[in-house]
Copies of this chain bind each other. A is one copy, B any other.
Amino acid sequence: MAQLHPASTAAPLYLTGNKDGLREFLTKFDVFLFDCDGVLWSGDHTFPGTVETLELLRNNGKQLVFVTNNSTKSRADYCKKLQGLGIPSTVEEVFSSSYSSSIYISRILQLPENKLKVFVIGETGIEQELRSENVPFIGGTDPAYRRDVEPEDFKKIAEDDSSIIDPEVGVVLVGLDYHLNYLKLALAFHYIKRGAVFLATNIDSTLPSSGTLFPGAGSMSAPLIMMLGSDPTALGKPSQAMMDAIEGKFKFDRSRACMVGDRANTDIRFGLEGKLGGTLGVLTGVSSKEDFVSGPVRPHAYLDKLSDLLGSEL
C-alpha cells in the first residue's frame, strides 16, 4: 500500500473491498473521531452495519469519540440517541459543538465581570451545556423570545430599554434554532453592535435529515453575518478550537488519530487542519465521490460506507 499522503491535494485511497488496504489503514490509528449524522446514521435511520463496525473497532482496542456539530442536543441527549440506535456509548465519548462552545465561553473567553451573560439563539442542548459550565444565559428556549416582533419592540431595542435589553449580555451564541424569528435576530444584532462577542456553535449551512437537506446552524448566523459584515468565531468542526478541546480532554497522539466524516469542507478539513494522522471519507452523507477525489479538500482515504471497514475482517 502507498504511504498516506500528508496533503489534501493527492488522490485519496479507495478502500472499499480492499482487505489488505483496510487492515493497514486501521492499524495506523488508536483513536477514531466520528462525525455521526451521514456516517453512522441519517436522521433516525441507522445505516446497516454501523453497530458491528464500531464493535470491531472497540474489539481492536480503538478509542472512539463521537464528534457532532449538532448543538440542539446536550452530550447526555446525544448519548441517549446513540444508545437508542443500538450503539453502546458513554457521555464522555461524546463531543458536541454546544459543549465546545460552553467550554470556550467559561474557560477561554475573558469576559468583564458585568458582561457574563450569553444571549442564546438555539435549542435546549446549548442551554444544558451552558448550565453544566455555570454560564448564565438568556434567550434560547425561553417562551418570552418565541413570539412575533411587535412595533414597540423596535423602539425599546433602539432605546436599550431594560425590559428587553439585558446590559449584562457579553456574548451572543448562535446555534441551530427551530424557533428562529425576527425578534431573536434583531436582539442578537443589537447585542453584538453593543459589543457582545459573536460566537456560533458551528457554521454548517445545511442539516441533513430524511434524506435531504434543511437549514443548518450556519443559516441561523447568516443574517447576522450579512448585517455585521463579519463572521462569528465558530466552535464546531472545522474550527480547531473544537480539536484543541477534544485533545485537551482525551490526550491523544494526533498522528495516531483518524477523523471519519461525510463532509469534505467540515469533517475532512477538520482532521487535515488538526494535523491528524488520517482522514476517512464516507459516501453516505453530503460529499460525493467527486468531492473527495477531485475537490479542494480531500481525505486520505474513502469508503462507499462506514461498514465497508468490516471487510478488513480484523
Q: Which residues of A contact B (CB under 8 A)?
A: 43, 148-149, 154-155, 157-159, 177-182, 185-186, 189-190, 193, 205-206, 209-216, 218-220, 222-227
Contacts and interface: CB of A to CB of B under 8 A. Distances in A.
Contacts of A223: 205, 215, 219-220, 222-223
Given A185-B219, A205-B226, A211 B180 contact: no
B211 A219 contact: no
Contact of A226 (B178, B189, B218): B218
B226 A214 contact: no
Contacts of A225: 222
Q: How many copies does the complex hold?
A: 2
21 contacts: A148-B179, A154-B209, A154-B214, A155-B210, A158-B211, A179-B181, A180-B182, A180-B185, A181-B181, A185-B215, A185-B219, A186-B214, A189-B213, A205-B223, A213-B227, A215-B223, A219-B222, A219-B224, A219-B226, A219-B227, A222-B222
Given A158-B211, A219-B223, A222-B225, 19 more contacts: A43-B154, A148-B178, A149-B178, A154-B209, A154-B214, A157-B210, A158-B209, A178-B182, A179-B182, A180-B180, A182-B215, A185-B215, A185-B219, A189-B213, A193-B213, A213-B227, A216-B227, A219-B224, A222-B222
Contacts of A180: 180-182, 185
Contacts of A182: 177-180, 215
Contacts of A158: 209-212
A205 to B, nearest CB: 4
B227 A206 contact: yes
Nearest to A215: B185
A53 to B, nearest CB: 26
A149, A154, A218, most chain B CB atoms within 10 A: A154
Nearest to A176: B182
A205 B189 CA distance: 11
Nearest to A219: B223
Nearest to A43: B154
A182 B209 CA distance: 14
Most B C-beta atoms less than 10 A away, residue of A158, A177, A213, A227? A227
Nearest to A216: B227
Which 7 residue pairs are nearest across A and B when measured between Cβ atoms?
A219-B223, A158-B210, A222-B222, A222-B226, A158-B212, A205-B226, A222-B223
